[in-house]
Amino acid sequence: MRPSLRVYFLIGTALAVLHVPGLVVAACLAGYWIFENLDLRLAKRKRTKAIEEIIFGWERSKDDSEFEVRGGLSRVKLTGQNQIIAARIGELLEKLL
């Protein structure tokens, strides 16, 4: 989620009311901007890593070729139209998050 301009307005207004010098106001706003962007990047990296853990690392089951296994987990391997639907849902969720 992107920070709204209201945050910058509130910080600037509060510092102006407190008669803080302009250089300090600029430093506070720049610091907020830097840390907000850093937080957004870290959150995106965490989401990407979680999605990659879910998608990759599965191997075909030796017992049944219709299933995939990883560790103690197993899942049905999607085919044809189901793969397309799952991929589109994954893309949609990635855009929403």
Do 11 and 43 lie in one domain? The reply is: yes
Tell me the residue range of the domain where 81 lies.
58-97
Do 12 and 52 lie in one domain? The reply is: yes
Do 64 and 97 lie in one domain? The reply is: yes
- Domains in the chain: how many in total? 2
Q: For 18-68, how does the pLDDT look when each residue is reduced to its tens digit (9 = 90+)?
A: 999 989 888 988 999 999 999 989 988 998 888 788 778 788 888 888 888
Do 46 and 64 lie in one domain? The reply is: no
Predicted confidence band of residue 86 (pLDDT cuts 50, 70, 90): confident
Do 66 and 95 lie in one domain? The reply is: yes
Q: pTM score, two decimals?
A: 0.58
Confidence check: pLDDT of 70 > 90: no
The average pLDDT across 66-85 equals 83
Do 51 and 66 lie in one domain? The reply is: no
Give DSSP secondary structure letters for the chain: -PPPHHHHHHHHHHHHHTT--HHHHHHHHHHHHHHHHHHHHHHHHHHHHHHHHHHSS-EE-SS-TTEEEETTEEEEPP-THHHHHHHHHHHHHHHH-
